Amino acid sequence: MGKDKNISTIRIKNKRASFEYFLLDKLVAGIALTGTEIKSIRAGKANLSDSYCVFKGNEMFVVGMHISEYENGTYNNHDPKRDRKLLLTKKELRKMKSKVNEKGLTIVPVVMFINGNGLAKLEIALAKGKHYFDKRESLKEKQTKREMERY
């Protein structure tokens, strides 16, 4: 019997990202994980709300992403807040690094999901911070959209 190629239902979203930032350019990256981390993600026990991406040398890491410890893990359990390496090509890394060096841009994780092959992927976005009045404007748009759907 082969693996099930069904589309996974695991989609962990960073809801704060679209509220705090203008999302400019999106990219899908793999994540280097340990065994207990992938089991916790498949159980849906991860949080992206306070995470961001940084460059350390020529590699990109996601910082502040919380993956809860696996319930049945023993002494092999992982640190929930450790920095995790993102798997990108050199071309993608150079492109993102040059854009981050511009003023006011950062990289934030938007969605974590498990693809058809069972691999954990992280959708990251190049983002520019919103000001207070931009956040108010996005809340107004959200309310009007909700009211239009009611009628």
pLDDT digits (tens, 9 = 90+) for 71-82: 777 777 777 788
Q: What is the 3-state secondary structure (H, E, C) of 76-134?
A: CCCCCCCCEEEECCHHHHHHHHHHHCCCCEEEEEEEEEECCCCCEEEEEEEEEECCHHH
pLDDT tens column, 92-147: 998 988 888 877 788 999 999 988 888 889 999 998 887 877 778 888 888 898 98
Mean of all residue pLDDT scores within the chain = 85
Give the confidence band of 44 by pLDDT, cuts at 50, 70, 90: confident
pLDDT for res 22: 85
Predicted TM-score (pTM) of this structure:
0.77
Coil/strand/helix, residue 53: strand
